[in-house]
Structure 1
């Protein structure tokens, strides 16, 4: 009987697998993920987006008390009103309509525009308003909204009303569009702004609005109007509408460019930037405008002639404005006055060149990349608004360009920093400069240097009593007490490292970061590798390990989970949740502890999953989050205590139609005795009596992703793991640790030994193993095939082939020279080319290409901003010269990692065909056997399979 039962179970299992099919390249577009989540302040409603890779999203509105669910197609960017009575969201046009418009090259103004959706959470009724550009809901304003319309369609082109159109699949009656004040002005002259009280239904239409915003409590709506030029009587300027009294006040009655509307904490005072210069004037003169309850109009608070503004400096139109917490002080930006273009220069008669000088602080390439950003750079300044004799106090300048306010502007000081000028040129090979930090007096602008040549970062405590910083060079945490000028080493006498214990690059190890500050700066919480410590910032009390060393003892990593990042402090009496990760088996979850308790943290949840995307209700203990693992696509849950959870939604039910896989943690010992680990992905219908081809994907360390869900997707660079597993491959992803100076040998040590360990299993076909890597992984692929013939095929994306030429190259995205990568960071040589010439050659695959016997496919794109694409060319032309089987894909105008989806889809097919041929014996495609000549570019893609050999 037992044998019969076993047979029946096995038969049913086999039949279940037989009904499933392998993933193919057609599944990508509709595969789902979870977008942004929101939760109403009272914790009754949540919203979350279910996105498709390429298609129409669905917004889910779920009542967490009675499980009522409202689904709105194509909706996103949901917001709840502060009273939790309404939800508003944008509704995009159908993806197919957008696609068809692009195909037909329809002008942008004539394309279908977004709509606004508003759901009444009491009646569950949804209203939709067509052609809405933007909408805003005040943070604390109850059930009010403002939305800005698109300009109206030309009546001659206007399509039939939505009510006459045939409904699409999944449309409901709620999808009909209301003709709701859809009027606006001509091009570039603003459009209708609708203010609406959603409870009463009363609406106000304001014409020709360009920009708008609410204050925090929604009592004031600020907007700027640009009436049509042909109508001299039309209102222009800046207005403020009192949403409580219904009255409107004109603040500025001139046409101009007004922006940066900023209210103080109470919402009673307002500042903004504005200029009213002639439209053709190249350099605009911005002013800071100010308005309060007692003022009938906005006053020019600061202009470029104001006392204190340095000569040849002016107000920046690109800076952010802010009040101090008490609204007594204003912070704004200054910048060197720009020089107008010399219109007398004849363009075709002057030379165009870049001059590189060895004394330049930064390379010309960096200067050119940063030119637009630097032209908008502003330097912080301040003024006392209530002063009888106000003056502008510049806080930042060219020598100390970075200044940030302390304690919300209530402190007497600001914190300034600058890269040490003597060290600026050296950042070409160090990767980052040493920084000097200053206390900047906000009343006088005077600067006092408090930290000199710091390798690391400094920041002010929330109450402004201390400056905290970590020095990478010695691995210590320090505080500087502003009142006394005293510096204290916090971790003195502790034998615990607060620097990255696994650092394996030839540079100083970074810290594990600050977890937060207790109220009134009484203590600072700092992470080590596993635990969280509490330090007295003045050093007068002994440090406390608030997780009691449980992390280090169990090899768990604990991190305080912050649900509200607007909170400046951690309450010393707070009940804390900790993110917890088991570093042994990679399980994850939450632990709980009261901060003032001496007990160990207590486990709340722990499982073989990843927990992501937590959101919490502002006024209730209600949480929403995602959970998933490799086998289970993202699921959305809600809970009040994490002890019991309710599933709200699942994604990708179609996954059950396809052969999926399972992820296992693999551990082995390398030849030099290092303990290592990685992930082995097996098909769910894995049969240990069969032999499987295996693909090996690597970068640096990946085992922490054991429980990560990997959707089948056309990826920008990495291996499409779920696709290959579903199609009968094993996929192995090993961790790699590095020995300084020997990155290539380190890859051999860890990757090859992991593969050899798995080859001991009878179900691994040792003759059919391929490797794939991108960028740093691509380099390691290129290196490995010069050292071993154990791989049947290899794929290298954006690889470095020649460290001697790459060393002096440029990262074109940033303009940075690449020397720092070899001396200090990922490439891990740890010396200059001239100091360790032999190591640069030893680690350069180019010099050993004659040893290669593995077929290689290379991706090297001509717009790669990280690895110069000539590195791929060097690798390709070298192997081609030696008669080795090699191909190179150059996706035109593409980046280091593919951006355009059509290119991502293309490379998935080619990668599958390449590995199927060498690891499964499949026929080779035309692009591998005879290639695609330039004359056929864009006409044929060479995917057809042939009987020819590559």
Structure 2
């Protein structure tokens, strides 16, 4: 079978002229590519670990792939470790630990000295648990009970300095935290009937923080290494804070002091950083500790009935008997100064608390989605109302209706930023006065996504960040950042000075392990610059004065894997249509760049291609853009077959590396280019209520433009779409005969039954896709009957004259199999050329490698026959009858 596949794959490239030293990609080549798994940068930034894994191996099947250790100082791979796991750097990257399982199944731990690679076996009875940044390991060892010696079961803490070989054992330990780079410790320890909290240097001597009988002592403590403060509670009754710096303990709260209403009980207590306030959840005593009565009912197994009720909370496909629901109660705040307990939110309210601290404010906010819960079947996101509540009186009022984006507190807990998706502006809520005001009115450009073309309200461009003093917030427009003074004392200014808009560059958050939302006065924020003209990208830094410094710019897409903990070095990748995203190491300013990996050196053996952005005027009279992929050595005087494929918009993906893989749905653009095809991907911007017509206006106008430019030629133009674009492709072939063949995957062919369907995977009714999101009808079926009919291509199947290859699997979890099958049946009844493939048991995509090979071959043979004029494969000529299924795949061409 493999030999036959290889022979057929080679036959796909017949007649294609290519450079003598290179060859076109084939099916076998598509299984030879590698990916990079688990790239990690060491804390100091010197070392990189990663795995080179064949793409055919699953992500859970890469355990046997060796881990490679790269030393940036030498610029070389220094170690290759097989069958290892649990990497941990310690001692300022001088050492590395890992585990390895031997032939008997025993897991062993090793220490590597770096960069020498000298390996030693960890032979101590406790686990190796290095303390970050130090040569110290600390781990617990359990001592079993020994009744003969009157020893109870307990834990001992073993602390070892791997550099000096010194060790310390602290017996009967309950809880501990080691800090100060392994030099200091705070711990809880039992001694007979006594318990104590102690602290000091790891090797001692230790100071006593608290001591007493076990039953009157805490069972745990939390500790903040930065502030050297901690907290604990005793029997959920007495809440305390302690400070190692001042060797002090302060009582924050005694539960007995809270005036809980009669017949009510405290369910949960949350301490805030502000010692004056305590958050509580309180409920009726009668609802606590209730046990569900054991059922004595007898089940009737003679049949099973599923009853669908019109007004129940969820349809049966969403119901689950095992759904876990955390008990909820009314929310209260207790003011320790005034000793007042105030209800601030009902049980259904979701309190939104400041994420850093709760200031001395008069108001808090909560959200309530109760009025909209049933709408989850026809809304992408469940809306919610926003309420402000006076924490002194408990009086609440509505301040935002049907919001879609969660409000965000300022760092100091004084202000809340709220995006109103209906009015499309940013509001500010003052937690002191309770006032709400529009703070984006002075920004002369939209703060919402102007390209949003779905029925749901347009989302905001987002908040870029806050100043640490809480005085300013940075709001984004399509290009720049705007600095808003929250107290209104200063005029709103364009922080990036309009540089983004004037140069058509969008400054976006650059996601990495250094993500921040709160910026200090001297902060330099890493951002990604997206250059809209050519879709190149840059990595920039913006300081708090608005200066923009470009660190790197190129015709690539960039992605940061990690910055080192000392912020001196960076691990990152760049990619474009011909550049695989290999790992690169550099300084944090992107100087001294070193390429770490060369995962796919075989690429240079194959014919490749290039991509460019093209632009034309569509049938609506608007400028339209798209991507044009051209074979390597493209000659404008030659005639090439063209595959048109699309989804929504593609130009932002211009510099995406399309790895040559077997197809799970649509044709791989790199594979197609390598085999002599032009691939055209037009952008589509939709008009609500007429998604099919929007597709026609963009796609067919683009194809006309290609023909007019001499790039595409009638008789050699194919069309392809899958899922949402499967619908669009079906619509197009009912409206035009410009395409010589079309491959349609997992399509919705009837908007009416599509709207009334249920997604098999999630169990969710599909209303939301039509009323709120991708299908873009923006109305119910009954409010837009004619539009649904007009946008349903199955009704006009009699107008299809284009040969079709339909792909739909019977276990599709997203689109009902019957939708694609209906298109095949229509074509069969109309006696028009059509083939349908169903990889039985597969879902929305083909996932089994063998099936992917088969689909890649059949799909490209279909395009080759209609667009290149090759001979017809036997499966298209003869079909595959049940008796031949699995025995004769009929790849060979008719003689």
**Is the Cα–Cα contact under 8 Å of residues 393 and 444 in structure 1 kept in the other structure?**
yes
CA distance in 1, matches of 2:890, 2:796: 34
CA distance in 1, matches of 2:213, 2:817: 54
Residue 856 of structure 2 aligns with which residue? Answer: 908
**Is the Cα–Cα contact under 8 Å of residues 514 and 563 in structure 2 kept in the other structure?**
no
**Is the Cα–Cα contact under 8 Å of residues 406 and 413 in structure 1 kept in the other structure?**
no
Classify 1:494/1:221 alpha carbon distance in 2 versus 1 (closer, same or farther; 3 Å). closer
**Is the Cα–Cα contact under 8 Å of residues 215 and 263 in structure 1 kept in the other structure?**
no
Classify 1:753/1:377 alpha carbon distance in 2 versus 1 (closer, same or farther; 3 Å). farther
Residue 537 of structure 2 aligns with which residue? Answer: 588
Task: Give the superposition deviation at 1:844.
Answer: 0.7
Of the three residues 717, 723, 732, the one matched with 1:775 is: 723
**Within-5 A mapping of 1:460-859:** 460-561=409-510, 565=514, 567-596=516-545, 601-635=548-582, 636-762=584-710, 764-859=712-807
Paired positions, count: 841
Task: Give the superposition deviation at 1:755.
Answer: 1.9
CA distance in 2, matches of 1:910, 1:135: 54
Task: Give the superposition deviation at 1:447.
Answer: 5.9
Greater shift after overlay, 640-649 or 841-850? Answer: 640-649
CA distance in 2, matches of 1:16, 1:878: 41
Residue 94 of structure 2 aligns with which residue? Answer: 85
Task: Give the superposition deviation at 1:557.
Answer: 1.0
Task: Give the superposition deviation at 1:716.
Answer: 4.3
Residue 860 of structure 1 aligns with which residue? Answer: 808
Task: Give the superposition deviation at 1:197.
Answer: 5.3
Task: Give the superposition deviation at 1:711.
Answer: 0.7
**Is the Cα–Cα contact under 8 Å of residues 331 and 346 in structure 2 kept in the other structure?**
no
Deviations 1:831-881 (A, max 9, x none): 222222111111111101111222323333444343233322322332233
**Is the Cα–Cα contact under 8 Å of residues 358 and 412 in structure 2 kept in the other structure?**
no
Greater shift after overlay, 456-465 or 814-823? Answer: 814-823
**Within-5 A mapping of 1:228-267:** 244-245=202-203, 264=224
CA distance in 2, matches of 1:570, 1:65: 32
**Is the Cα–Cα contact under 8 Å of residues 75 and 594 in structure 2 kept in the other structure?**
no
Greater shift after overlay, 770-779 or 336-345? Answer: 336-345
Note if 1:945 corresponds to 2:891.
yes
Task: Give the superposition deviation at 1:405.
Answer: 5.0
**Is the Cα–Cα contact under 8 Å of residues 137 and 162 in structure 2 kept in the other structure?**
yes
Q: Secondary structure at the match of 2:715?
A: strand
Task: Give the superposition deviation at 1:887.
Answer: 3.5
**Is the Cα–Cα contact under 8 Å of residues 272 and 289 in structure 1 kept in the other structure?**
yes
CA distance in 2, matches of 1:328, 1:92: 53
Q: Secondary structure at the match of 1:719?
A: coil
CA distance in 1, matches of 2:128, 2:462: 37
Residue 75 of structure 2 aligns with which residue? Answer: 67
Q: Secondary structure at the match of 2:469?
A: helix
Greater shift after overlay, 817-826 or 427-436? Answer: 427-436
Deviations 1:336-390 (A, max 9, x none): 8797676543553378555444443x43247416x65543577797999x98999
**Is the Cα–Cα contact under 8 Å of residues 36 and 77 in structure 1 kept in the other structure?**
no
Classify 1:302/1:468 alpha carbon distance in 2 versus 1 (closer, same or farther; 3 Å). same
Deviations 1:426-458 (A, max 9, x none): 454344343122457889988665434434331
Note if 1:142 corresponds to 2:134.
yes
**Within-5 A mapping of 1:115-126:** 118-126=111-119
Greater shift after overlay, 648-657 or 37-46? Answer: 37-46
**Is the Cα–Cα contact under 8 Å of residues 39 and 46 in structure 1 kept in the other structure?**
yes
Task: Give the superposition deviation at 1:706.
Answer: 0.9
CA distance in 1, matches of 2:667, 2:211: 59
Task: Give the superposition deviation at 1:815.
Answer: 3.6
Q: Secondary structure at the match of 1:945?
A: coil
Classify 1:737/1:310 alpha carbon distance in 2 versus 1 (closer, same or farther; 3 Å). farther
Q: Secondary structure at the match of 2:716?
A: strand
Classify 1:914/1:607 alpha carbon distance in 2 versus 1 (closer, same or farther; 3 Å). same
* Aligned-residue RMSD, C-alpha: 5.2
Classify 1:873/1:778 alpha carbon distance in 2 versus 1 (closer, same or farther; 3 Å). same
Task: Give the superposition deviation at 1:653.
Answer: 0.9
Structure 2 gaps of 5+ residues are 1-15, 142-152, 189-196, 248-252
Greater shift after overlay, 766-775 or 214-223? Answer: 214-223
TM-score w.r.t. the length of structure 1 is 0.75
Q: Secondary structure at the match of 2:457?
A: coil
Deviations 1:468-511 (A, max 9, x none): 01111111111101112122211224331111112222332111
CA distance in 2, matches of 1:77, 1:782: 50
Task: Give the superposition deviation at 1:596.
Answer: 1.7
CA distance in 1, matches of 2:19, 2:280: 65
Note if 1:884 corresponds to 2:832.
yes
Classify 1:617/1:455 alpha carbon distance in 2 versus 1 (closer, same or farther; 3 Å). closer
**Is the Cα–Cα contact under 8 Å of residues 41 and 83 in structure 1 kept in the other structure?**
yes
**Is the Cα–Cα contact under 8 Å of residues 363 and 815 in structure 1 kept in the other structure?**
no
**Within-5 A mapping of 1:137-286:** 140=132, 142-144=134-136, 198-199=162-163, 244-245=202-203, 264=224, 269=230
Task: Give the superposition deviation at 1:728.
Answer: 2.1
Of the three residues 360, 367, 370, the one matched with 1:421 is: 370
CA distance in 1, matches of 2:106, 2:800: 55
CA distance in 1, matches of 2:415, 2:651: 39
**Is the Cα–Cα contact under 8 Å of residues 73 and 91 in structure 1 kept in the other structure?**
no
Task: Give the superposition deviation at 1:911.
Answer: 2.6
Larger Rg: 2
TM-score w.r.t. the length of structure 2 is 0.79
Residue 930 of structure 1 aligns with which residue? Answer: 879
Deviations 1:609-632 (A, max 9, x none): 111125222324322211121111
CA distance in 1, matches of 2:537, 2:431: 40
Deviations 1:782-832 (A, max 9, x none): 111111222233222221111011112223444433223222322122222
Greater shift after overlay, 532-541 or 702-711? Answer: 532-541
Greater shift after overlay, 581-590 or 438-447? Answer: 438-447
Q: Secondary structure at the match of 2:862?
A: helix
Structure 1 gaps of 5+ residues are 1-13, 98-109, 150-188, 224-238, 275-285, 296-300
Task: Give the superposition deviation at 1:889.
Answer: 3.7
CA distance in 2, matches of 1:328, 1:942: 79
Which structure has more relative contact order (CA 8 Å, sep 6+)? It is 2
Deviations 1:900-941 (A, max 9, x none): 5555455334433333343332442538732252x776xx17
Classify 1:262/1:57 alpha carbon distance in 2 versus 1 (closer, same or farther; 3 Å). farther
**Is the Cα–Cα contact under 8 Å of residues 668 and 754 in structure 1 kept in the other structure?**
yes
**Is the Cα–Cα contact under 8 Å of residues 479 and 505 in structure 2 kept in the other structure?**
yes
Task: Give the superposition deviation at 1:607.
Answer: 1.3
**Is the Cα–Cα contact under 8 Å of residues 573 and 596 in structure 1 kept in the other structure?**
no
**Is the Cα–Cα contact under 8 Å of residues 362 and 433 in structure 2 kept in the other structure?**
no
Deviations 1:35-55 (A, max 9, x none): 444334433334444443225
